[in-house]
Amino acid sequence: MSTSVDRVLIVGGGLSGVSAAIALQREGIDVELVEREPVWGALGTGITLMGPAMRALKQLGVLEQCLAEGSGCSEMSLFNAEGELLHTLEIHGLLGLEWPAVGGMMRPTLHRILADTAVTQGVSVRTATSVSSLEQHPDRVDVELSDGSTESYDLVLGADGLRSQIRQLVFGIDAPQPRPLGQAVWRALLDRPASVTGEFQFYGPGLKTGFTPLGPDKMYEFLVQPVADDVLPPPEERPARMRELLSVFGGVVAEVRETITRPEQVDVRKLYWLLMPAPWYRGRVLLIGDAAHATTPQLAMGGAIALEDGIVLGELLASGGELEAVLEQFMERRYERCRMVVENSVQLSEWEKNAAEHEEDAGRLQSESFAALAAPI
């Protein structure tokens, strides 16, 4: 495959796609991004930004703005189900003491900041557009887009998420499918009481809940339901169901529980995971983000590794060389790290189903994972 990558198509405008768009465009590569949704945005409540995500956002040049519009902290408090404080741990960040160790913000806000940065840098974006077909050639990929146009690119990135169409188009029947875990995660957007001073986690009988501050007045509460209901309740029944699941907790969890009343406050989804075997490319098409490695939220790292994919690819493309060699180096830098996040998250999720028996194992695996993820990318 010839050397130069001047023009890249990114399919999907989530965290991995927009990170790649910023990282490639700033290296002088001409980036086009197509997003299936008519309005380019992000749904959902809040996102927790662990150390690697904070580092990635700094590398993308948006961390200060994210913290100004979100929240940051450097300690985590652990409580029992009654709401009694067990420990307060100092969290060591990856950026030095002048930065908070972890962050939290509304997903739509994070998306807006990243999207504005990409567009300001010159990334061209087409919404309500996807790919109809791809034809690989030694020196290019010809792509027919759903708006009827046909374009040629040096490289195509499938950044189109867990149920990636590009994965299906390029890897066909060899492509693994998302696998369910039998768990669900509930998240509710709440007013933040003054007593919630940082990341709070509460351990109940077989259930874990916690708060992530999103700003001075807002936070989100997550609840991991170890064995999901067969059918998730319709939106109008979700506040009552979440309150019912939370009824085993006392203290501040019980206080805020009563404010979970509106369907639009509550998001619930079953958890799936997927790990593509290496390599994640065929010819000139590479999968990044959840399309290649979708993880569950036990380590809160899916967004971090999605952002990192774009940054690493930008660095490698900037350093030149044959495209095939660049893609091989990309796999060397990304596969093991992402495999570890996905497999350790799945293991933690399995242990959550029998939490009492695996408390120590889970603590050890979490610490080992965070230590490994602190390494440079």
Q: Which residues bind ligand FAD (CB under 6 A)?
A: 11-17, 34-37, 47-48, 53, 130, 159-162, 165, 185, 269, 289-290, 297, 300-304, 306
Answer for the pair 101, 92: CB distance below 8 angstroms, yes or no.
yes
Alpha helices per DSSP H over the chain:
15-25, 51-59, 63-69, 107-121, 165-171, 238-245, 251-257, 302-318, 323-352, 355-373
Q: What is the dihedral of CA 294, 339, 57, 77, to 10 degrees?
A: 90
Q: Measured on CA atoms in the order 108, 15, 299, 178, is the torsion positive or negative?
A: positive
**Least Å from the CB of residue 10 to ligand FAD:** 9
The Cα–Cα gap between 376 and 370 comes to 12
**Least Å from the CB of residue 220 to ligand FAD:** 9
Distances (CA, A) of 367 to 22, 255, 363, 371: 31, 31, 6, 6
The Cα–Cα gap between 235 and 240 comes to 10
Which of 138, 298 has the CB closer to ligand FAD? 298
Which of 103, 204 has the CB closer to ligand FAD? 103
Which of 226, 302 has the CB closer to ligand FAD? 302
Q: What is the CB-side half-sphere exposure of residue 149 using CA atoms within 13 A?
A: 7
**Least Å from the CB of residue 48 to ligand FAD:** 4
**Least Å from the CB of residue 322 to ligand FAD:** 26
Distances (CA, A) of 84 to 102, 157, 218, 252: 23, 48, 22, 10
The Cα–Cα gap between 114 and 288 comes to 17
Answer for the pair 128, 116: CB distance below 8 angstroms, yes or no.
no
**Least Å from the CB of residue 272 to ligand FAD:** 8
Which of 47, 106 has the CB closer to ligand FAD? 47
Which of 4, 133 has the CB closer to ligand FAD? 133
**Least Å from the CB of residue 355 to ligand FAD:** 19
Interstrand relation of 199-204 and 75-80 (parallel, antiparallel or unpaired) = parallel
Which of 144, 324 has the CB closer to ligand FAD? 144
Q: What is the dihedral of CA 80, 83, 84, 87, to 10 degrees?
A: 60
Which of 28, 277 has the CB closer to ligand FAD? 277
Which of 78, 254 has the CB closer to ligand FAD? 78
**Least Å from the CB of residue 296 to ligand FAD:** 7
Q: What is the dihedral of CA 225, 56, 75, 271, to 10 degrees?
A: 0
Which of 54, 327 has the CB closer to ligand FAD? 54
The Cα–Cα gap between 329 and 27 comes to 18
**Least Å from the CB of residue 230 to ligand FAD:** 18
> Token pair of 44, please?
């959902």
**Least Å from the CB of residue 249 to ligand FAD:** 20
